[in-house]
A and B are shown apart, each in its own frame.
Chain A
Amino acid sequence: MSSADIRDMLDLPSQAPSSTRPPPAKRAKTDGKKLDGIHRELHNLLGENTHAVAVMQNKFKEKPNWMQKPSPWVWTPFKNRARKDDLELYHWVRGTPTDDEYPFAKFNKDVEVPTYTQEEYDKALADTAWTPRETAYLFDLCREYDLRWLVIQDRYEYEPEENEPPSIRTLEDLKERYYFCCRKLMELRRDASGVDWTPRDLEQYNAMNFNKDKEVMRKQYLERLLSRSPAEIAEEERLILEYRRLQESSKKLVQDRKELLRLLESPQTANSFAQHQTPQGLSQLAGNILASDKNKRRKGMPDTAAQVAGTPGSRGPDGTPTAGAHPQAIGQAQQPQAAGGQNGVHGTKQTQPQTGRGPAPATPAVSKAELAQSATAKKVAKRVPPGEENLYGISYHDKLVQGVYLRSTKISTLKPTVQAKVASILAELGIAPKLAMPTAKVSDRCEALQQAINLLIETKKQADKLEHEVKVLSSSNAGQQSDAK
């Protein structure tokens, strides 16, 4: 008993053999991936085959040696080489005291404050605001206090001689004087010895470029910055944010502006329009437009004019394209006539542009024959003998969407629910949903059939509705009658 037999007995449709076959199997994912680096470690930690125990390092101390005698500590005197006096102090030293240098002596570094001779001073360092004595005092202080300006300024207690004005020196004054002197000394010494500076010397020279005003202002700024109130701080933050936002949006604005400009500039005129700006140019332009319009109308005129005429006989003279003006006149003459809806329709159609020269649906035969007379048809007629158009599959249609398609793809579109009902009715009638031979005639007829079925469905709906109403009314009447009795 094969499945085909069973299906036959039960009147089931035959099963498509393909559904029993599984689709060609996909290759299974191989598990032999190579893992690299971090993935391997991770896989080791989390995946299969994890290490049972993690590696631990031995961090024990060495075993202490109990046998050895401990070394003694000795109270030893020492001298600090960095001190200028010969002070001897004592400290504990482990084991036997060596006579090494005191280890902290090496930290006694001095700042290199230059010394100058009187000649050098006279040559380069003379200044109206500073006496040599004061300068020397300053330098001594610098040497003493290792160029620590705050300390120097604090300890600055210069006692001027009787004929000198009292000296009130700010920190900046002192710095300025010091750096000025140092720079001048460097220059002087370089010029005197002829040895140019090393890069390091140059760096030092540049570093000593002290600008008093700038320094003063800088300190003022800092002062102000520190003394802001919280409100001021918030305000400033807000302003900064706004500024940043504006910056970003400005970028966007610039881009938008560029786009706009590009758009505005884009339609480049091929010829300059200066020639059209004169009155003659304008009239010429108008003439050109009219002429091209006429040309377009001329092609369409034979159709509508002949339709208005309505008889095949009058098609002869109208069939020629040179009769452009006449059909237009005839058409316009016919327009005032209200004779029959047909004319009116065609009258309105005339005002439509070229593409809308479709005839009213009421006269399809006339229009198709009309199209047969059009310019396209003439070209066709040259190639194909008139009666044999069928053999070439040529047909004429009103409005065509340009392009190529398969006829089997052009099936009518209805709402999906409706389409389902239509399909079921088609099945009842014994017509397969996919046409066996979708030729022009067949597909047209199929379309007509589907429309008819659609109509049938709607009629049935209406009939059902009416039946229901009748039932309701009759039952209510019966109820009334029984009440009346």
Chain B
Amino acid sequence: MSGGSKRLKNLQICRPFVYGNMAVPLKEDRSPEIPTDHTHSWTVFLKGVNGDDLSSFVKRVVFKLHETYANSTRSIEEPPFEVTETGWGEFEISIRVYFVPEASEKNVVMYHHLKLHPYGPEAEQQKTNGATVTSMQYDEFVFNEPTESLFEILTKKPGAVLPAQKSMLVPFSVESENEELDRLSDAHAKVQANIRRLTERIHVLEQENSALQSL
């Protein structure tokens, strides 16, 4: 590795990823070890978009569950970075991501509210179906002025590529990004229109004002 710890100035690399959870209601025939008041089996995860491997720059992910779980601090050192458990309640899970030592970066933390019950307009229907409930969030790691070693790691393969099409399995894609961009642009346009209208009104008012004052 050439010159590991020098930092590349003015350089910013970002790597997208997805975190969240899936939950599925437990059926009648389940293993007797699970306490009877648990209603769902859920998995909280952190993974790359497109199924990319994050372990090249992520050393370990620590999921802190509710205190009532045994060993509530789950440290996952290898991919897949996920924790599967059973339970009955929704709570906030803190996800702390530690980077590889070559990065010389401190850890980042994010919070995810565990979703077990269906929500949204089709909630009732989904409840009766016994469908899997997912709650995922897209985010990006942004590395400002990465070290040379980290840069090498991150540029081995293109990591910031989003899948082009949206689909059931791929909730975050270029398509959805463009949708969001369009939404934002529309809003921006509306705001600009309003601003123009108001500035015109201001002109009119100023003229009136000066006219009245000269009286």
- A contact set with B: CB distance below 8 Å: 2, 4, 14, 16-18, 21, 23-24, 371, 374, 376, 379-380, 383-384, 388, 390-398, 400-408, 410, 425-426, 429-431, 435-442, 445-446, 448-449, 452-453, 455-456, 459-460, 462-463, 466-467, 469-470, 473-474, 477
Asked if A18 and B16 sit within 8 Å, CB to CB, the answer is: no
Closest to A380 in B: B11
CB distance from B163 to the nearest CB of A (A): 12
Contact of A393 (CB < 8 Å), options: B13, B121, B124, B198? B13
Asked if B187 and A431 sit within 8 Å, CB to CB, the answer is: yes
CA distance A206 to B104 in the complex (A): 76
Asked if A463 and B201 sit within 8 Å, CB to CB, the answer is: yes
28 pairs of residues in contact across A and B, judged by CB atoms under 8 Å: A14-B120, A14-B121, A18-B117, A376-B9, A376-B10, A379-B8, A384-B155, A394-B155, A396-B11, A400-B145, A401-B144, A402-B145, A404-B103, A406-B110, A406-B139, A406-B142, A408-B139, A436-B180, A437-B180, A438-B138, A438-B139, A439-B177, A442-B177, A452-B188, A452-B192, A459-B195, A460-B198, A463-B201
CB distance from A222 to the nearest CB of B (A): 73
Chain B residues within 8 Å of A466, by CB: 202, 205-206, 209
Closest to A426 in B: B187
CB distance from A354 to the nearest CB of B (A): 10
Chain B residues within 8 Å of A438, by CB: 138-140
Closest to B103 in A: A404
Asked if B13 and A394 sit within 8 Å, CB to CB, the answer is: yes
CA distance A344 to B156 in the complex (A): 43
CB distance from B154 to the nearest CB of A (A): 7
Asked if B90 and A462 sit within 8 Å, CB to CB, the answer is: no
Asked if B187 and A407 sit within 8 Å, CB to CB, the answer is: no
CA distance A135 to B151 in the complex (A): 108
Given contacts A2-B124, A430-B187, A456-B195, contact A442 B181 (CB under 8 A): yes
Given contacts A18-B117, A466-B202, A477-B212, contact A402 B144 (CB under 8 A): yes
Is B152 interfacial (CB-CB < 8 Å)? Answer: yes
Given contacts A406-B108, A437-B138, contact A452 B195 (CB under 8 A): yes
Interface of B is mostly: mixed
Is B74 interfacial (CB-CB < 8 Å)? Answer: no
- B contact set with A: CB distance below 8 Å: 7-16, 66, 68, 88-91, 99, 103, 105-106, 108, 110, 113, 115, 117-121, 123-124, 137-145, 148, 151-152, 154-155, 158-162, 172, 176-177, 180-181, 183-188, 190-192, 194-195, 198-199, 201-202, 205-206, 208-209, 212-213, 215
Given contacts A400-B144, A442-B180, contact A467 B99 (CB under 8 A): no
Chain B residues within 8 Å of A445, by CB: 181, 184-185, 188
CA distance A384 to B151 in the complex (A): 10
CB distance from B106 to the nearest CB of A (A): 7
The 10 A-B residue pairs whose C-beta atoms are closest, nearest first, are A393-B160, A391-B158, A466-B205, A393-B14, A17-B117, A473-B212, A429-B187, A407-B140, A18-B90, A400-B144
CA distance A379 to B11 in the complex (A): 11
CA distance A78 to B155 in the complex (A): 123
CA distance A391 to B13 in the complex (A): 10
Contact of B212 (CB < 8 Å), options: A379, A394, A425, A474? A474
CA distance A463 to B140 in the complex (A): 40
Asked if B12 and A395 sit within 8 Å, CB to CB, the answer is: yes
CA distance A436 to B89 in the complex (A): 25
Chain A residues within 8 Å of B180, by CB: 435-437, 442
Asked if A431 and B183 sit within 8 Å, CB to CB, the answer is: yes
Closest to A425 in B: B191
Chain A residues within 8 Å of B186, by CB: 429
Closest to A8 in B: B121
Asked if B105 and A473 sit within 8 Å, CB to CB, the answer is: no
Asked if B181 and A391 sit within 8 Å, CB to CB, the answer is: no
Asked if A388 and B10 sit within 8 Å, CB to CB, the answer is: no
Asked if B142 and A462 sit within 8 Å, CB to CB, the answer is: no
Chain B residues within 8 Å of A23, by CB: 89, 91
CA distance A393 to B141 in the complex (A): 10
Chain A residues within 8 Å of B110, by CB: 406, 408
Given contacts A406-B108, A442-B177, contact A380 B209 (CB under 8 A): no
